[in-house]
Each structure stands twice: as structure tokens, then as C-alpha cells.
Amino acid sequence: MGRPVSVEDYRRIAARRLPRAVFDYVEGGAGDERGVARNRAAFERILLSPHALAEVSRRDLSVPFFDRRLPLPLVIGPTGLSGSVRPGADLMLARAAARAGVPFVLSTASTSSIEEVARASDGEKWFQLYVLNRELADSLTRRALDAGFRTLVLTVDVAVSGRRERDVRNGFGIPFRMTPRFFAGCAVRPAWSLAQVRHGLPQFGNLVSAEAKDASSQALLMLRQMDASFSWDDLAALRERWPHRLLVKGIMRAEDAARCFACGADGVVISNHGGRQVDDTPAPVDVLASVRAPEGKAVLVDGGFRRGADVVKALARGANAVLLGRAPLYGLAARGEAGVDEVIRILEAEMDNTLALIGCPRAENLSGEFLA
């Protein structure tokens, strides 16, 4: 295969370089994976309506975002256990995001700790919070605040874990379970295996650091067993405790988005967890059109973004920015930190090309007028 020129090219390289169980963890979804497929298919149904004879000799991909401008309408989203793809993955993702001038969201289930990521990158860093239990959530929130994270992203679509059959069949977990099937997959991926052995097998960085060593919480996090009693009142209480920007991720109804804003959230992320929780939900980009943010608030979206044109379509439907999940991991698996840079540049080039071809010189001017 020659030089990769698309996110799909990086996906194919990732499939060749990762053990089957690890690639399946990245790629897989809940149940029959109809939700994963639906997320992608939604972009095929959304068509663009080019405007003729527009002056597009110069294009501007930057967008207003709260109190700043993002040079690209992208955020590197939270991905748990990214160290299973490549050692040091969270640090690489954070540095790549900083170079691109976009935020990076560190997962509670990261394999590097809050403090390690804070030291590794001077870019804008957000922390994604799973509420495993109230005491641990408070501790993680304090640590993120002390480390300089100024945006908290509360994920609310994991009251229980989705049933991801690929992971069940593969016995995927942390620590790695050295079953004959897993060992056979590692044996045919020697470069991946040697890197993991050399750097140490991945662990939940936020739960094995000096600040937190809790075996029971590690088990709950691997199973995605969250505090299922967390409710609207608890969101309001978190809003009172967290002094900076608060986003709520995992919203799939306009009514829930409005209630988040009423509770004081600064933004919502329309998300079905990449199709990894409930198999039969709409694609987030289809829900997006029904959600409107009050003045000064933001609506973000994730789920299935593989092309710059996908990002353009989401902005035209009203998103302020897009979170990327699997796409940066494909680049990471294929070519390490440089691969993440390259994936971002590919999406940037595709967005720029799409804007020119539909007659829209500025990304912030995208609207329904550019959709068929």
C-alpha cells in the first residue's frame, strides 16, 4: 500500500498492525453494530447544495468557540484504553491536538494519568468524567482542576455498559487476559507486542497513580459499571462545584439538551458513544438538527466522522464543533504521533476542499442553505 491519503487508509493499516482483539476493541460497537453502521450511513444521506460563482479564493476553517476561535472545528475526543493501541497514546494525542490548536479530551479510562498529560502538553485540555462512585468522581474532578484542565465533560450514556460482543468473544480486558486466542493475535503482530512489553502493559492511569490506587474502581471502569443513580439533581450539584466550563456528553434528545442548558451546562455533545452503548439509536448527526443552543452555549457532535465533508455537513446542521474518536486512533496505530498529525491534516484539507466546492468561504457561515 502506498502513502495513506484518507482516514480509511489509516484504518486499513491499523487493522494490519494491531492484534485482532485490540482492533476489535477500537472498531466494535454494541450488539449487531447497526448503530456503528448507521452513524456512517447518515453522512451518505446528507447531500450538499453547492452555491455557484461564490468568491472562494481564500477559505477560513476557523470557527468561534466560547471565548476563542478554533483554527479547525475539531476536538480530539475521549477514548478509553488508548494505550492498548500504542504505548503513551494519550500523551501523543494531546501533543498532536496542541499542534493543531484544538482541544484534547482525556478520558477517565485513559492509560496515562491526568497529571502526566498535563505535563506532556501545553495545549487546551479537557477532562471527561465517568461517575463510577461519588467519592472517586470528586477526587478526579479535583485532580483535573489542580492540573489545569478548564473544561469538564460529563458522560451520561453509560448507566451500564453496552454489550460489545467482539470484546466478549475476544475476552478483551485490562489487564490483558493471555488466553490462547489473545496470545495468537499478539504473535502475528510482533512490533505491537514488543512495544507493549518494552513500555509496560497498559493500565488505567488515573486509578493506578500515586493519587488513586483502587482495584475495585479499576474493575468497575473496565466493565463500565457506573453510578446508575446519578440524576439531574446530581448534574446541578456538579455544576455548582465545578468552577469552569461544563459539557454534558451522550445527549440524544432535544428535550434533554434543553434541560442540560437549564441546569447551567455550557454545552452538550450529541453522541451515541460511537454506537458502543445502544445499538438501535439514531445517528447523532441526524439528532443534531433538532437541538439548538442558547446564546453563549455550544452544541458539539460525534459519531462516525471519517471525512472533512462529514464535518462540513455537521456544521451546516448546526454543530459548533465535532469530536473525533476512532479516526485519530487509526492514525496512532498506523504511524504513531505523526499519524495523528496526518489524520488531522487530511481532514483539514478535505474540509477546505469541500468549502471551496460548495461556495462557502468561511466555515462559520455554514448553514442549512448549503444542504440539499
Please say whether the beta carbons of 315 and 289 come within 8 A: no
Please say whether the beta carbons of 361 and 53 come within 8 A: no
Per-position b or e across 288-299, b if 16+ CB within 10 A of its CB: bbebebeeebbb
Tell me the backbone φ, ψ of residue 268, rounded to 5 degrees: -130, 150
pTM of the entire predicted model:
0.95
Please say whether the beta carbons of 100 and 344 come within 8 A: yes
Cell readout for 195 is 512495544
| Residue in 109, 123, 119, 116 with CA at minimum distance from that of residue 325 | 109
Distance (Å, rounded) from C-alpha 126 to C-alpha 77? 9
| Residue in 40, 85, 15, 28 with CA at minimum distance from that of residue 340 | 85
Distance (Å, rounded) from C-alpha 61 to C-alpha 365? 10
User: So what's the pLDDT on residue 133?
Assistant: 86
Please list the alpha-helical segments (H only) found in the chain. 7-17, 20-27, 34-45, 89-100, 114-120, 134-146, 165-170, 180-187, 190-199, 215-222, 232-241, 254-262, 284-288, 308-316, 326-358
User: So what's the pLDDT on residue 218?
Assistant: 57
**End-to-end CA separation in angstroms for the chain:** 36
SS3 content of the chain, % helix, strand, coil (to 5): 45, 10, 40
Please say whether the beta carbons of 148 and 124 come within 8 A: no
Cell readout for 208 is 493506578
Domains and CATH numbers, the chain: 7-370 (3.20.20.70)
Distance (Å, rounded) from C-alpha 139 to C-alpha 296? 29
User: So what's the pLDDT on residue 193?
Assistant: 92
Residue 136's Cβ-side half-sphere holds a number of Cα atoms within 13 Å equal to 21
145 three-class SS: helix
Please say whether the beta carbons of 198 and 226 come within 8 A: no
Catalytic residues: 273
pLDDT along the chain (372 residues), means of 10: 92 97 96 97 98 98 97 98 97 98 97 97 97 91 97 93 91 83 90 93 82 54 72 97 98 98 98 95 97 96 98 98 98 98 98 98 98 98
33 three-class SS: coil
Distance (Å, rounded) from C-alpha 195 to C-alpha 238? 39
Residue 286's Cβ-side half-sphere holds a number of Cα atoms within 13 Å equal to 14
User: So what's the pLDDT on residue 222?
Assistant: 57
